[in-house]
């Protein structure tokens, strides 16, 4: 049932006031949240900001604390203390300019950050700190190729790009040479091992400090290191730890059973267990967006999790709102309501972050009148007893984002053309059928096609992709 409470909004607004007293750029996520991509030696403070490499020399000199306290993060912490807004956090600044509540506040209101506000307000930014919320990827092994993902997080994407090259968009989407230049390529095995070993060296210190540990990938359940971590959690006591794991739930019955058995053994040892499962919409559109997804398998595995963990494991759906996901958003909300009705003992949460990259797949490329699909979903949530104020608020903020297009006319035109080129190439490579799957976009598509010139693009595609 809904956790609908006005108090959740009160808490958020009180947090904002307390943060702003320190500075209007102050965000506790910069200190206490870390994502570690061990397979490419990168780190970031939250998923809205870009990642950067942890230098091997720094790791050798300072040990595993260097995995989180990089010179780049320390500079941004210092900026925030002085009231300067780091450019990498534009996601939050933009929402705040629009009068919305950003993740700077939502994240700082959490149990892993808010208790440390007073202490952190005394720091100048140069201190080493242990993360309280750690997101961890051991590898990029994945059986899916979601439309907006990349070879950095999916070995299936990596194989496709190695075979066919980057997509023929303006910026050559998923260009591996660019990742190499940026220091983000997946590392060779012996280099990857250095970062993974550093993590295991850090683990005895970390495990007693962490409040949240979230394992991601790739698909983490296809990586041996994840099962090693699950074994660790089965064999110890971690009373303050909230353990979470991402999964695409594209798992065989056998792996799903082993996973649920492990979670049931871990559950008494930790404070909570949560499974984040990603799905963006329903039906064929969902399967198109998240290539590899079989909707029935997803919901069967989700129900196995809900049923066989007796409501002791929280399931949270990660719904990445993008240009193709909004048509079925209301349908997905209806499924969530039905699950909440069927499993009243279970906690079935969800979040609706919006996609920012690649830009050609963002909501903003759509004509603003298409926000009607989001309005329908919001209206559905409002009339139901099964959704909280916060859930409605998070979905509703997408409406103002759609109204306010961040790009000028020429950039919008270029991104729409990139959208078209991406989808054409997607259909060629993956034998998919864009227009058959998204009839809602027929007029939009024809419009771009008319401007782009059918003949030129077809010939160009045939020329550069003769093997498809």
- Nearer to ligand SF4 (CB atom), residue 133 or residue 288: 133
Token reading at 24: 């209007």
Give least dist CB 262 to ligand SF4, A.
31
Nearer to ligand SF4, 50 or 63 (CB): 50
Rounded to a whole number of angstroms, the minimum distance from the CB of residue 85 to ligand SF4 is 8
- Least Cβ distance, residue 126 to ligand SF4 (angstroms): 18
Dist CA 287 CA 280 (whole Å):
9
Instruction: Give CA–CA dist 436/341, Å, rounded.
Output: 33
Residue in the structure block whose two tokens are 């910026």 = 171
- Comparing CB distances to ligand SF4, the nearer of 89 and 362 is 89
β-sheet bridge partners, residue 317: 277, 350
Q: Which two tokens stand for residue 92?
A: 């939050």
Q: How far apart are CA 279 and CA 295, in angstroms?
A: 9
- Nearer to ligand SF4 (CB atom), residue 107 or residue 364: 107
CB of 304 to ligand SF4, least distance (A): 33
Task: Name the minimum Å distance from CB 103 to ligand SF4.
Answer: 4
Q: How far is CA 238 from the centre of its chain?
A: 26
Residues pairing with 349 in the sheet: 316
Q: Which contacts of 392-401 are long-range, i.e. CB under 8 A and separated by 24 or more positions?
A: 393/9, 393/101, 394/351, 394/352, 395/352, 397/95, 397/100, 398/321, 398/352, 398/354, 398/363, 398/371, 398/374, 399/371, 399/374, 399/375, 400/98, 400/100, 401/98, 401/354, 401/363, 401/364
224: number of Cβ within 10 Å:
10
Closer CB to ligand SF4, 26 or 420, in the complex: 26
Q: Which is nearer to ligand SF4, 52 or 107 (CB)?
A: 107
Shortest distance (Å) from residue 46 CB to ligand SF4: 3
The span from the CA of 269 to the CA of 255, in Å, is 22
Residue 388: name the closest of 354, 352, 349 by CA. 349
Whichever of 28 and 346 has its CB closer to ligand SF4, that residue is 28
In the complex, what is the shortest distance from the CB of residue 302 to ligand SF4, in angstroms, rounded to a whole number?
28
The two tokens of residue 400 are 């103002």
Q: Which residue is nearest to ligand SF4 (CB)?
A: 89
User: What is the smallest separation between the CB atom of 45 and ligand SF4, expressed in angstroms?
Assistant: 5
Q: Which is nearer to ligand SF4, 292 or 353 (CB)?
A: 353
Q: Which residues contribute to the site for ligand SF4 (CB under 6 A)?
A: 27, 29-30, 45-46, 48-49, 89, 91-92, 102-104, 107
Q: How far is the CB of 93 from ligand SF4 (least distance, A)?
A: 8
Tokens of 451: 């401007």
State in angstroms the smallest separation of the CB of 48 from ligand SF4.
4
Nearer to ligand SF4, 35 or 223 (CB): 35
C-beta closer to ligand SF4: residue 70 or 102: 102
Report the alpha-carbon distance of residue 358 to residue 246 in Å, rounded.
21
The nearer residue to ligand SF4, 48 or 394, going by C-beta atoms, is 48
Shortest Cβ distance from residue 105 to ligand SF4 (Å)?
8
Listed in order, strand segments (DSSP E) in 300-417 are 313-318, 348-351
Question: In terms of CB distance, is 214 or 267 closer to ligand SF4?
Answer: 214
> Which one, of 77, 23, 15, lies nearest residue 49 by Cα?
77
Note if the bond before 454 is cis, omega within 30 degrees.
no
Cβ-contact 397, 353 below 8 angstroms:
no
Considering the complex, what minimum distance in angstroms separates the CB of residue 61 from ligand SF4? 26
Strands (E), 211-312: 212-216, 238-247, 270-278, 290-291
Q: Report d(CA 187, CA 38) in Å as an integer.
A: 9
């Amino acid at each position: 049932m809904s956790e609908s409470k006005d108090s959740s909004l009160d808490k958020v607004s009180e947090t904002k006031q307390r943060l702003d007293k320190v500075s209007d750029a102050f965000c506790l996520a910069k200190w206490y949240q870390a994502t570690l991509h061990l397979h490419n030696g990168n780190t970031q403070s939250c998923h809205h900001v870009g990642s950067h490499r942890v230098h091997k020399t720094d790791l050798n000199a300072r040990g595993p604390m260097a995995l989180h306290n990089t010179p780049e993060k320390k500079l941004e912490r210092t900026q925030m203390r002085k009231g300067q807004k780091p450019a990498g956090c534009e996601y939050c600044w933009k929402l705040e300019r629009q009068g919305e509540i950003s993740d700077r506040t939502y994240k700082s209101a959490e149990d892993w950050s808010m208790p440390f506000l007073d202490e952190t307000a005394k720091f100048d930014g140069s201190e080493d700190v242990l993360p309280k919320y750690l997101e961890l990827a051991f590898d990029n092994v994945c059986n899916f190729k979601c439309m907006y993902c990349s070879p950095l997080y999916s070995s299936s994407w990596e194989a496709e790009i190695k075979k066919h090259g980057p997509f023929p968009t303006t910026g050559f989407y998923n260009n591996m040479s660019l990742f190499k230049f940026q220091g983000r390529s997946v590392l060779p095995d012996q280099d990857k091992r250095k970062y993974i070993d550093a993590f295991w060296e850090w683990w005895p210190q970390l495990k007693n400090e962490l409040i949240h540990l979230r394992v991601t990938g790739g698909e983490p359940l296809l990586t041996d290191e994840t099962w090693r971590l699950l074994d660790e959690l089965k064999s110890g006591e971690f009373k303050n730890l909230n353990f979470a794991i991402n999964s695409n739930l594209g798992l065989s019955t056998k792996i799903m059973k082993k996973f649920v058995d492990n979670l049931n053994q871990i559950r008494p040892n930790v404070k909570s267990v949560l499974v984040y499962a990603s799905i963006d919409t329903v039906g064929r559109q969902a399967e198109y967006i998240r290539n590899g997804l079989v909707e029935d398998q997803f919901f069967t595995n989700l129900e196995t999790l809900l049923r066989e963990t007796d409501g002791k494991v929280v399931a949270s759906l990660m719904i990445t709102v993008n240009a193709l996901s909004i048509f079925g958003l209301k349908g997905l909300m209806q499924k969530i309501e039905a699950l909440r009705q069927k499993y009243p003992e279970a906690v079935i949460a969800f979040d609706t972050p919006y996609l920012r990259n690649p830009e050609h797949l963002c909501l903003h490329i759509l004509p603003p009148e298409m926000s009607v699909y989001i309005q329908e979903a919001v209206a559905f949530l409002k009339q139901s007893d099964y959704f909280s104020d916060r859930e409605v608020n998070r979905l509703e903020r997408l409406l103002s984002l759609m109204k306010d297009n961040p790009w000028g006319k020429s950039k919008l035109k270029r991104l729409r053309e990139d959208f078209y080129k991406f989808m054409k190439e997607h259909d060629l490579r993956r034998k998919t059928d864009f227009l058959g799957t998204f009839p809602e976009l027929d007029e939009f598509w024809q419009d771009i096609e008319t401007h782009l010139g059918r003949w030129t693009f077809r010939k160009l595609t045939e020329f550069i992709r003769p093997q498809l």
